[in-house]
Structure formats: C-alpha cells, structure tokens
Structure 1
Amino acid sequence: MVVEEIVLLNAEDEAVGTAPKAASHHRDTPYHLAFSCYLADTEGRILITQRALGKRTFPGVWTGSCCGHPGPREGLRDAVLRRLHDELGITDDTLAAASLAPVLPGFQYRAVADDGTVEHERCPVVRAVVPSGGAVRPNPQEVEAAEWWTWEQCLDLAGRPESSPWYRLQLAELAPLGPPLDWPDAGTAALPPALAW
C-alpha cells in the first residue's frame, strides 16, 4: 500500500521535510502544503461538493470542488489534475481541455474541527475551467455529493454553517473578484517556494 505524504513547511513556506498524511492530521497538525480547486464550466457554474461522511477530517461539510496535498516534488498543476481525476472522476479528455490558473496563490489558513483536529495549510487556490456538460463521477470515499451551482448559490453557502472554514475564508477573497469566469490569473510568482506550477 502506498502511503501518501505531505510536504512540511517552515514559516517562509520552504519545504523542510515530509510526513505521512494520515498520521499528521491531529490536534497539533504541522504547517504543510495543500491546494483548493474550484472547477467551473463554461456557463460560469461551480462544482460544489460535500465531503464524504467517512472522512477523518471535516466530514460532511460543503466546500469547493476538490482539495488535496501536492506530493514531494509534485507541481501544483499536476497535483490539481491528479485530484480532479481521483476525487471527481474527471476524464483524461476533459482534463486535457481544462484551463487552469492560480487565483489565490498566497492563501493560507488554520482551522479546528469539532473533534479538535487541526488543518494548518499553505493552500493556493486554483480555478479550472472545463466545457459544460462533462461527466463527473465522484469517488464515494472522498465525496458524498457533487452539484453544479450558480455563483449566487456559492456566495450564499459561504454564510452557512455547513460550509467548510476554508471555503468561507476563500470566498471572502474570491467574492470581490466577481463571477468565476472573471477571476484573474494571479500568476505563479506568489506561489510558495516549496511549490512549482
């Protein structure tokens, strides 16, 4: 069995080592590298997901399209495409046509779940645009539900307690940018030193 590893960071967002993902999320979770992705279609809708009820951290919360942890020496673009495939079942053909852009490259947060588990991540936010009508086949171990929502529905979710804490923080920064297809490409200069595009 392959053990998924996370990249540990120092205060300057430089890689200082790795650790097993499952064993690292607890009440004193170390600061580490992650990402969030908002999957938009060409009509401007966003795929909103509910985390699987069996997830160890933040089960059942509603959040963006997918999130994950870049592996050691894995670029952000490759990590996003890997998770879109593994978590949401997006086909290789659709991924090949996807347009990816960092929209909040400097995002980071710390959040505590009801059971005391901490997330503490440098978490660049990426928008991926795919053609409308593409099939989504969520992995039930990762995703309880997945629905295409209008931007107005996404904004409404940010004010509700069933949304994830990182979603609420991200939407506070994304809302002033306008609807998803208007979000500017923020470029790669502000990505953490530990993470290539």
Structure 2
Amino acid sequence: MSTSTQTITAENVIRLFPDVNPSLAGAHKVPQDDRDLAGYDEEQIRLMEEVCIVLDENDVPIGSASKKVCHLMKNIDEGLLHRAFSVFLFNSDNRLLLQQRASEKITFPDMWTNTCCSHPLGIPGETGSELSEAVQGVRRAAQRKLDQELGIPAKQVPLDDFRFLTRIHYKAPSDGKWGEHEIDYILIIKADVDHQANPNEVQDAKYVSQDELKSMFQDSSLKFTPWFKLICNTMLFEWWDHLDTDLDRYTNETQIRRM
C-alpha cells in the first residue's frame, strides 16, 4: 500500500489527466455507455459522477474529477490523488459502530469497515486549501454521508462534535480495475444515534468493543477494507483507550502520515 513514487504536483496532474477540471465545482457526467461501469448497480454508477477534490501530495487542491476517474487503478498508478475522510463513531459505552459495505458497491464490496468512509465533494462548504477550512469541509461531508449511508440525523452528529485527529496518505487496490489513493481525514465522534442502513450502501451495521473487533480480525471468513485495517493496526486502539481521558493529545495533527 505504498504511495506513488512520482511527485504529485498540479503541473504533473493537469498534464497527465485531461479529465481533471482545474476548478473545483462542476459536473462530471459519466456516459451511459461507459464500458468501465458496465454491469454495475445503477445507483452506484450515478454516484460515480460525484465531484472529488484532486490534490497534490501536500493536500493542496488542484481541481476536481469524477469519482470514477479518481478510483481507476490506471489513474491511481500514475499519481492521481484525492481527498477523503473516515469517521469512527462511538456510543456512550465506547463501542464502535462498524458497517459492512453493500454488495452493490463498486469498490471494496462486502467488506467490513469503520462507521463511514467517503469523500468531501468539490462543492461550496466541503472544499478548502487551509487545514482548518478543509477540516470543516470534511465535517460537513461526514454529516451528509452518515445520513445518506446510515440514516443518522444531522442533529445527532453536530459538526462541532467531530474531532479531527490526523490525515493519512495511502494507496490500496480493490481489484484489477478499481482502488483508492487518498489523503484521508480521520474523524472521531462520540454520540448515541439512531441509524437505519441504506441497503444500497450498507448491508449490515453493528457496535463492537475492542475485544470483539480483534476477534473479528481473527475470523478468516470476514474481509476488511485496507484503510480500516491500516488505521486499526497503527493508531485506533490507542485512541480508543484514551477516548474519555486525554484524546486531545492526539487531535489536530498538522503533519500528513504517509502509509
């Protein structure tokens, strides 16, 4: 899961990827006869039109491209990088809400992962070049996607309750065609919420303790998203131990962790 060795700069990205729009807003329509998406779920194909924020390796926005363009391995292997977020939602008993991705998902179907993982979009309110502005953008995106994927009302996850910990830069294939190459903003929130999964996004959801999650990792019949395993193996359990004591010491990191 090493990142691209080529330096990712605005100049290189614009030269290599004609599909990248140097502005952030705008539609990226996926043609109905797109061969890359033939045979996939209709709603998931529509979501491939979403506008992701294309970055240089220092998390500075270059422009935008469709979710489809950003997730093709042929583009990832040439250095196309975008912004993402991962939410870890704990209830008042410090149990973590996991989701199992739907079979309809184009990338990483059927895999267990953290509460919600997605992308801020190249739209007003979710973008930002400065870190503080970008963090607020991913908080808004997280609130939006928790509702869309898990039916969690926005009022139960207020923006100011999302705690930003760090950013990780990682690269991971899903299959031969699709994958991820992201600078992923890690958010933790503690809240007791109502949730009802959108079956096109999530096939199962459940709360787990640390020991229960570790037992799941030992079950060879279960599959996990690479970013979730990466975060768990390096940072999550330490954060979990400090949820109610001194989590502040882990928040608001300015350096990007390269993984």
- Name the count of aligned residue pairs: 189
- Relative distance call for 1:12 and 1:42 in structure 2 (3 A) is same
Give CA deviations for 1:44-95 in whole Å, capped at 9, x if unaligned: 0111110010100010000000011011251121111111111110023312
Aligned to 2:37: none
Alignment partner of 1:60 is 2:123:
no
Rounded Cα–Cα distance in structure 2 between residues aligned with 1:160 and 1:169: 17
Pick aligned residue for 1:95 from 146, 157, 161: 157
Q: Provide TM-score, normalisation by structure 1.
A: 0.85
Rounded Cα–Cα distance in structure 1 between residues aligned with 2:139 and 2:181: 21
Give CA deviations for 1:114-171 in whole Å, capped at 9, x if unaligned: 334221000011111112xx32111111111111111222233345561111111000
Larger proportion of strand: 1
Alignment partner of 1:106 is 2:106:
no
Q: CA deviation at 1:97?
A: 8.8
Aligned to 2:254: 190
The secondary structure found in structure 1 opposite 2:164 is strand
Pick aligned residue for 2:179 from 97, 100, 118: 118
- Relative distance call for 1:166 and 1:54 in structure 2 (3 A) is same
- Aligned residues with identical type, % of pairs: 29
Contact 2:70 2:82 (8 Å CA) reproduced: no
Larger proportion of helix: 2
Q: Provide TM-score, normalisation by structure 2.
A: 0.66
Q: CA deviation at 1:106?
A: 2.3
For the pair shown, the structure with the greater C-alpha radius of gyration is 2
Contact 2:143 2:154 (8 Å CA) reproduced: no
Structure 2: 5+ residue runs without aligned partners? Answer: 1-45, 127-136
Structure 1: 5+ residue runs without aligned partners? Answer: 193-197
Aligned to 1:141: 200
The secondary structure found in structure 1 opposite 2:109 is coil
The structure showing larger relative contact order (alpha-carbon pairs under 8 Å, at least 6 residues apart) is: 1
Contact 2:210 2:237 (8 Å CA) reproduced: no
